[in-house]
């Protein structure tokens, strides 16, 4: 059995693959290169990971605050659903980034206020103010992330 390798048949596909891979490497390299361009250190990598974790946790907090707002805006309060959502929020945000401790506390207070309102223990206004405070707090935290 004779195997023949043609240089032309091997080199042309290899050249095409290389030409397609280079722009992809260039784009991904630009996305991860620090500004100003310098060697990417372990500290830079940790800061990038911390920013990503901050953005992820903030997104989850915002999602939960919006769920509380939806419960508050429902035509009739559902005490069971409000209690379950409040318990889930409290369990989910027991731990997290230290930079968002105050935001988590405001959100958990809002969840408890909505739960209390839904069962009739408190009026509507304190629950509404607590949810608005949570949303405002998360917006401020989001503004702080955008400034970096």
Q: What is the pLDDT of residues 15-74, one digit of tens each?
A: 888 888 888 888 877 777 766 767 778 888 898 899 999 999 999 999 999 999 999 988
Query: Does the pLDDT at position 119 exceed 80?
Result: yes
The candidate with the shortest Cα–Cα distance to 61, out of 138, 141, 139, is 138
Q: In sequence order, which ranges of the chain are alpha helices (DSSP H)? A: 7-32, 42-73, 79-92, 101-118, 124-146
Chain mean pLDDT for the chain: 85
Residue 21, pLDDT score: 87
Burial 34-71 (b: 16+ CB within 10 A, else e): eeeeeeeeeeeeeeeeeeeebeebbebbbebbebbbeb
The candidate with the shortest Cα–Cα distance to 66, out of 110, 35, 14, is 110
Q: Say if CB 58 and CB 141 are below 8 A apart.
A: yes
pLDDT category of residue 147 using cuts at 50, 70 and 90: very low
């Amino acid at each position: 059995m004779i195997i023949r390798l043609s240089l032309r048949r091997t080199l042309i596909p290899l050249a095409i693959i290389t030409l397609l891979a280079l722009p992809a490497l260039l784009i991904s390299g630009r996305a991860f290169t620090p500004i100003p361009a310098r060697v990417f250190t372990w500290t830079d990598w940790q800061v990038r990971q911390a920013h990503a974790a901050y953005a992820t946790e903030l997104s989850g907090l915002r999602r939960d605050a919006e769920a509380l707002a939806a419960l508050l805006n429902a035509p009739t309060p559902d005490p069971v659903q409000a209690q379950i959502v409040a318990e889930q929020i409290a369990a989910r945000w027991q731990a997290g980034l230290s930079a968002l401790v105050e935001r988590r506390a405001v959100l958990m207070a809002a969840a408890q206020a909505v739960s209390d309102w839904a069962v009739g223990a408190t009026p509507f206004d304190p629950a509404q103010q607590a949810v608005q405070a949570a949303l405002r707090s998360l917006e401020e935290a989001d503004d702080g992330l955008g400034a970096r």
